[in-house]
Amino acid sequence: MTTSTKNPADFVAKSANEPKSQRIELVGVPSSPGFAMGTVFPVANREFSVVDETLPESRLATEEQMFLKAISKTSKEIAQIKEISESRAGIKDSLIFATHLMILQDPGLVNGVLDKIRKKHKNAKWAVHVVFSAYIEKFEKIDSPAMRDKAADLRDLYNRLMSAMDDSGPVLEDVSHEDGVILVAHEFVPSFLMTLKPGQVNAIVMDTGGRTSHVAILSRALQIPAVSGLRNVAALVKSGDTIIVDGADGTVIINPNEDDIRKFHERQEMFERQRRELFTMRQLEPMTRDGKYIVLHANIEIPTEADKVTDFGATGIGLYRSEFLFFRKGAPTEKEQQSAYRHILEKMAPHPVVIRTLDAGGDKLVSGVSAVNESNPFMGWRSIRVCLDREDVFITQLRALLLANTKGNLRILLPMISSMTELRRAKACIAKARKQLEDEGHKLPVVKIGSMIEVPAAVMIVDKLAKEVDFFSLGTNDLIQFTLAVDRTNELITDMFQPHHPAVLSMIYQTVVAAHREGIPVAVCGEMCTDPMSVLLLVGLGVDELSMTPWSVMTTKKIIRSINFEDVRDAALTVLQMDDAESVNEFLHKKYAQTIMELGISGFVGQVEK
């Protein structure tokens, strides 16, 4: 939650001297709260920009190195994919990767690029672009469909090489703006955000994505205001434009006028005031007026976030997404993981810490573990499926977790469980890791093991799962996406991602009923916990714990302290009888909108939705 700005006078003065650019106001999906004003820094991706320039002799060696590094990096990537593919699909179907590797070694291609650099004094990207384009064109003209298809393989390799060179080239290195800049792109990938330095960026805005995309989650963790799903903002801005971003209500103003700037400062002041006020209540209990205690935990993505979690009034970590450790080149070692986990566990002790095992795949690209192009990655080879196939990776993580648990406050959460077989196999892996360590002479405390409930199949067998785990954690983002068959990263259907759809509410309720029958608690760790109306519903449906971004803990606490449990339970039971999301939302709005608006948290949750 950053609120920084340059002196507004700078902007006014600037716009007076230059030809006035057109003011454009856009509304997207509010993805990470906070207000920011700054200058646009466009981040190009997907379409690689290549420049035809003639370089001085002195720079050629660097360009050559850049190209050779890209070749070796890409070869490594493909060799890894080949290995995974061979073990899963068999040698025969993996031959394409052997061909890719051979193409990367092709003397005609490699020397062609090197010649362009050495003899024509061109930069590496331009050389790759020109050489590949020529080959692709030739292949497209071949009178054999099988060979024409090879053009697609070349394009794939071209993209990989180009992004490999992008990685090694300067991205934001030149940006060290005093107050940061506002990044604008068609799309951001999580690993890109991980490379930002603190304070370097005021806000991010993008064409794609929604509230629950991993980029949105990550920007909340990094406390960078973000607006996503703007469709065409990247095409509308140019470098250096002034832009105002409101991460709470999703408004973005390009080239604001003086009136906009004045309003921006008013809102920013209100935001600061609300923030100070919220901080005063962080030590109060999250209890409803009639005495029902709701456990409020924080979700974190980065181990050092644990240092601040209790300041926001959270009494534990409800979800640490361990895969963010894997956003780098190569999987982290057992030692590296152990020290990251131990940092969190020791910081939080005696409070509980739920660490979710590697949930790679989907829109999270974890180098070294998953990189195969899947047409449907959310339903593909991801998460627990990867872990059970790559037992080496999984056991390493489990050993690190068990070793880090010196205070006994660890809870292990298994993601994406869709069958008893998976749950039992995963538990067997935990037992195996424990046995290994005990044989090595380690004394290990007992660890609670929980299952994510995020696949509809898990809800259908939830009474059976409840008998074999210690807790449930509802991953509402995936549960909604799978139940409603709505891809949460597809900006064309963000309106269909309805958390209050009766099918979703019924799934949550069934999970709670089954869990309470076995005497185990249910947590919700999805983004639903940050929407005030959803909080009321979840509490009413009987959810025991809510876990959310640290900042939201304070607002959620304020909401919980203002309600009666009996009342929200009646409301939830009434809502369960309704047959569409619109009726549910209308009912909730009528009943609670006024109450929520009077809580003075608008800067954090945006306008209460109708």
Partner 1 sequence: MITKLLTVSNKLGIHARPAGMIVDITGQAKSDVSIVFEGSKANAKSILNVMMLAIPAGSEVKFEIDGEDEELVVQQLEKLFDDHFNEEPC
The contact set with partner 1 (CB under 8 A) reads 95-96, 98-99, 102-103, 105-109, 135, 138-139, 142-144, 146-147, 150
Q: Collapsing DSSP states into helix, strand and coil, what is residue 535?
A: helix
Min separation Cβ 66 and partner 1, Å: 22
Distance CA 237, CA 365 (A): 28
Q: Which of 229, 155, 221, 224 is nearest to 185 (CA)?
A: 229
- Residue 200's Cβ-count burial label (10 Å; 0-12, 13-18, 19+) is middle
Catalytic residue among 100, 297, 500, 525: 525
Active site residue 589: no
Q: Which of 596, 584, 602 is nearest to 498 (CA)?
A: 584
Catalytic residue among 214, 297, 500, 501: 214
Distance CA 333, CA 326 (A): 10
- What DSSP line would sit under 379-436, residue for residue? GSS-THHHHHH-HHHHHHHHHHHHHH-TTS-EEEEETT--SHHHHHHHHHHHHHHHHH
Min separation Cβ 609 and partner 1, Å: 53
Min separation Cβ 143 and partner 1, Å: 7
Place of tokens 């909401």: 559
Active site residue 442: no
Nearest 10 degrees: Cα torsion 193, 273, 40, 190: 10
Nearer to partner 1, 99 or 594 (CB): 99
Min separation Cβ 119 and partner 1, Å: 19
Nearer to partner 1, 153 or 470 (CB): 153
Angle subtended by helix axes 57-89 and 150-168, to nearest 10: 120
CA distances from 243 to 9, 196, 479, 512 (A): 14, 20, 35, 45
Nearest 10 degrees: Cα torsion 367, 372, 373, 375: -120
Min separation Cβ 264 and partner 1, Å: 55
Asked if 560 contacts 294 with a C-beta cutoff of 8 angstroms, the reply is yes
Element spanning 251, H or E: strand 251-254
Nearest 10 degrees: Cα torsion 148, 150, 155, 158: -140
Q: Which two tokens stand for residue 260?
A: 């906009």
DSSP 366: -
Nearer to partner 1, 127 or 355 (CB): 127
Nearer to partner 1, 102 or 485 (CB): 102
- Residue 24's Cβ-count burial label (10 Å; 0-12, 13-18, 19+) is middle
Min separation Cβ 154 and partner 1, Å: 8
Min separation Cβ 113 and partner 1, Å: 12
Min separation Cβ 168 and partner 1, Å: 25
Nearer to partner 1, 139 or 565 (CB): 139
Distance CA 552, CA 296 (A): 10
Q: Collapsing DSSP states into helix, strand and coil, what is residue 273?
A: helix
Q: Active-site positions?
A: 214, 525
